[in-house]
Amino acid sequence: MTQDRIAASFDRARRERRAAFIPYLTAGDPSPDATVELARALDRAGADILELGVPFSDPIADGPVLQRSAARALSAGTTLCDVWRIAERIRRETSLALVLFSYLNPLLRPGLENAARAARRAGFDAVLVTDLPPEESADVEPVFRKAGLKTIFLVSPTSPPSRMARAAELSTGFLYVVTRTGTTGVRDSLPADLPATVARARRASRSSRRRGPEGFLPVAVGFGISSPAAARLAATLADGVVVGSALVGVAEKAGEGAVDAVGRFAGQLVRACRRTGNPTK
């Protein structure tokens, strides 16, 4: 039976009384080798699950940091085939569970079934299509499932109960709660209504038929988490904490010292995900 690395990551985090740490990298930024080295640094720092982004020319959900990251990767000539090769290396060289983070268009170009099979062969465990709402996924989600990939859907503070329920029903990896509407990016603080949004998502996840081995679908929080303090707050609410723009920004500023800088920052975020009381259920 194929190992369920996503479920195992959340299970390990719960047993260790912490939230799972889920960083993001853009594949090919600034090069394939650099991406693998950064993934190794994240693994050494204690990350659990890596979101590996497919660079896209029209990243409408991304803020300026991730837009620049995608532009650098595309300028370096990164293709979808390169993403598969990068993932294969990360799978061999780290213990990270891997989530393919992509817009729909790049996956449609080679054919969705071909892309799904290639992603699974490369070592991806799950897929998150950022511009695919649950209401429009009827012809897409089954393709990923058939290929052996778990699915992850996004919900936000403005998601009505019907969308929350549908997203939870379709998600088999975890349910991803966006902290606020708008694009990704570094923020100074988390919104005041985040606890209520996560509580709604958790109710939807507990009612989903696609529960994990512990009897519920994990909930992760992302978008705008840019400091250990924000990660610490998110970890009290959710089962996983996603950090993207802040990490990519650290790498961007550090230049040749990116691996060490990202490793140090990731270590701070991992420590911030630890809980002093009982783990969230």
**Which of 4, 43, 48, 51 is labelled catalytic?**
51
At 21, the amino acid letter reads F
Asked if 51 is an active-site residue, the reply is: yes
Instruction: Give dist(CA 168, CA 174) in Å, integer.
Output: 8
Asked if 256 is an active-site residue, the reply is: no
Instruction: Give dist(CA 12, CA 3) in Å, integer.
Output: 14
**Which of 48, 62, 169, 239 is labelled catalytic?**
62
Query: Under a CB-based contact definition with an 8 Å cutoff, are residues 123 and 90 in contact?
Result: yes
Active site residues: 51, 62
